[in-house]
Structure formats: structure tokens, C-alpha cells
């Protein structure tokens, strides 16, 4: 698979793999050996960019990645994140914490779980309003100089925060949700990071599965699946937003592709420094997703898709009010 560059020097596969759902967020954790096979199969298929976080589990996803990729070193990029605390040390997310001492503790713990000598890309998972971003960036900068971290990233940060952090320690990548049904970052965030030379890592580029065309208003989300509490996945929203899937299905038919490949190809075509990280627990889906890197959409097709989606009034917020207040996850 071809590659892309985040920031000025971090080279990754054009399509990465979001690993959260293997351990957290979409129901019970999947079988470890099956997920190891998926992760290793992804490497063999050409994926070099893997996304995890201490919060996924918590901790179990990093442990899974560490075991699965322990024999792969050269060219493999693993991104993880800091910034949360957990009930009783291992329970659900309790709050945010980006104090320097905590960042350092997370870095050491993540290195052990990931079985790596350095963290390739270390994101602040969510902005901590009680810690100046300059202090956060400076701490990660110290870790970079110490050889424990290679690149600094932010997740779901605003334009002012990005600028302030970048002035203290160059930011390699911003990770934020971006897809055909989540385009709010086009107004301010994408122009800001383009100006600063920061890459965009697009999480949920398939709309948490919706843009694949495999979900409809009859979908049932089990215990532990975060979509149960997301406004966009209520029955009435799924029905109303079906127009977007139908658009993708039409283009998929014309291009002899899948709706997921069309959705990812659109994201890839937006900017050469955008890298989508669709998540999946199936190797067949990994291979389908990376096939999007070879799907060419003409400028006219891209414009038509973009204009058509702008005319579709997406129903439902990304997150519930409670989730926004708690963690933003």
C-alpha cells in the first residue's frame, strides 16, 4: 500500500487500523487470539499504522497490540494516548488528567504494555482544562528528547489549542472524527492544521459502521456498545440518514467497489496528509478498507459527492450531552 506523511516526517500506510473495537466500545472484548490474527494479517496486507489508547479496556487494547506486534518492528507505527484517569485504577473513565507527572507515568506504563522502546505517536486524548496546553506540549517534548516518544499529537482539540501547543512543541498529527457525515472540522480545524503542516488522522471515517451500508433502523446494539447512547444511532436518525448510504451505494455500484471503499476514498482524496483509521475486528474488512487507497474518484465525482452530502441534513448529534460532559468519547 502507498504511504502518507503526517507532519514533516512520520510515514504511515495511507489507511491505518483503529484497534479500539477489539477490546472496548462495541460490546464485549473479542477473542484475543482471533484479534492477534487480524492484527498480524493487517501487517501482512500492508498496514503499518495502528491506533490504540490506555483508555481502551482500559489497558487491555495496548496489551493486545503489544503482544500481536511484538515481532514486528521496522516500519510499524503505533499511536497511543494519555490524559484520563480511571475508577479504582482500572475501571471506567473517571476524568481527565494531563499533569506532567501523570503524562510521564502513562508513557512508562504504555511502553511496557506495547513492548516497544519508544511510543511512535503520543496523543493527548482530550484537552485538560486545568493544565495549560503549553505545559502538556513541553512535557511531551521532554519525553521526545529523552527518546521515549517520537511524535506529539492532539485529539479533538480546537484551533487555538492546536496553535498554542504547536508553538511549544511541533504537533505531528491531530486525531479527530472526519467522514462524509462528520464535516464540521472543514470550517476552521483543517485550514489551521494545513497552515501549520500538521497531519489529520481521521477516526470513525465510516461513521462507526453506518457508512458501510450494513446498518439500518432495525439495528440493535448490545450491552457495552457505545452506539446505544449516540443520538445518530437512534432508530429515527438511522432511518433519516439512510439517504447518505444510498448515495454511497450508487457510487459503489458504478465504481465496482463497496460503500465503505467509496467513503474512505473520499476522505483520502480531501488532502494528501489525511490518514483514515477505520476500525474492524475482521481481516476481510481490513483488506476491503485498504482497497480504498487504490480507488480513484475523479474531481467531478468528488465534487458531486461533496455537494450531494451537503444537501443531506444529517439527523442526530455525534455524542449525547452526558458523553460530551464526561469525556467527549
Catalytic residues: 56
Report phi then psi at 93, rounded to 5.
-60, 130
Kindly give, in sequence order, each residue whose CB lies less than 8 Å from that of residue 206, ignoring residues fewer than 6 positions away: 179, 212, 260, 263, 264, 278, 289
Whose CA is closest to 329, among 249, 229, 255?
229
CA distances from residue 147 to 76, 111, 114, 140 in whole angstroms, order as listed: 17, 12, 15, 11
- The gap between the terminal CA atoms of the chain, to the nearest Å, is 30
In the beta sheet, which residues pair with residue 149? 119
Whose CA is closest to 280, among 22, 15, 14?
22
Say how far apart CA 9 and CA 251 lie, in whole Å. 34
Could you tell me if residue 328 is left (phi over 0), alpha (psi between -120 and 50 degrees) or otherwise beta?
A: left
Whose CA is closest to 61, among 106, 97, 30?
30
Whose CA is closest to 123, among 10, 268, 280?
10
Kindly give, in sequence order, each residue whose CB lies less than 8 Å from that of residue 164, ignoring residues fewer than 6 positions away: 133, 134, 137
Q: Which residue has the cell 504511515?
A: 12
Q: How many CA atoms lie within 13 A of 324 on its CB side?
A: 7
Say how far apart CA 176 and CA 193 lie, in whole Å. 12
Amino acid at each position: 500500500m502507498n504511504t502518507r506523511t503526517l507532519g514533516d516526517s512520520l510515514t504511515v500506510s495511507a489507511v491505518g487500523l483503529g484497534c479500539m473495537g477489539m477490546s472496548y466500545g462495541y460490546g464485549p472484548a473479542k477473542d484475543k487470539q482471533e484479534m492477534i490474527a487480524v492484527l498480524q494479517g493487517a501487517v501482512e496486507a500492508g498496514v503499518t499504522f495502528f491506533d490504540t489508547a490506555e483508555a481502551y479496556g482500559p489497558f487491555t487494547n495496548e496489551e493486545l497490540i503489544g503482544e500481536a506486534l511484538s515481532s514486528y518492528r521496522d516500519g510499524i507505527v503505533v499511536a497511543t494516548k494519555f490524559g484520563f484517569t480511571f475508577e479504582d485504577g482500572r475501571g471506567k473513565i473517571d476524568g481527565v488528567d494531563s499533569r506532567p507527572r501523570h503524562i510521564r507515568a502513562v508513557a512508562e506504563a504504555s511502553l511496557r504494555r506495547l513492548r516497544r522502546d519508544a511510543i511512535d505517536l503520543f496523543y493527548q486524548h482530550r484537552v485538560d482544562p486545568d493544565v495549560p496546553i503549553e505545559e502538556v506540549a513541553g512535557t511531551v517534548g521532554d519525553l521526545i528528547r529523552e527518546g521515549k516518544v517520537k511524535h506529539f499529537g492532539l485529539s479533538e482539540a480546537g484551533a487555538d489549542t492546536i496553535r498554542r501547543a504547536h508553538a511549544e512543541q511541533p504537533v505531528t498529527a491531530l486525531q479527530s472524527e472526519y467522514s462524509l457525515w462528520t464535516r464540521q472540522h472543514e470550517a476552521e480545524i483543517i485550514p489551521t492544521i494545513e497552515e501549520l503542516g500538521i497531519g489529520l488522522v481521521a477516526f470513525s471515517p465510516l461513521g462507526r459502521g453506518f457508512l458501510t451500508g450494513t446498518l439500518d433502523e432495525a439495528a440493535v446494539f448490545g450491552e457495552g456498545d457505545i452506539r446505544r447512547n449516540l443520538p445518530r444511532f437512534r432508530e429515527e436518525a438511522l432511518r433519516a440518514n439512510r439517504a447518505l448510504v444510498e448515495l454511497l451505494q450508487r457510487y459503489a455500484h458504478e465504481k465496482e467497489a463497496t460503500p465503505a471503499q467509496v467513503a474512505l476514498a473520499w476522505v483520502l482524496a480531501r488532502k494528501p496528509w489525511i490518514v483514515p483509521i477505520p476500525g474492524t475486528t475482521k481481516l476481510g474488512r481490513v483488506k476491503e478498507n485498504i482497497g480504498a487507497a487504490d480507488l480513484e474518484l475523479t474531481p467531478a465525482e468528488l465534487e458531486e459527492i461533496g455537494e450531494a452530502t451537503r444537501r443531506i441534513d444529517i439527523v442526530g448529534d455525534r455524542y449525547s450531552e452526558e458523553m460530551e460532559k464526561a469525556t467527549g468519547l
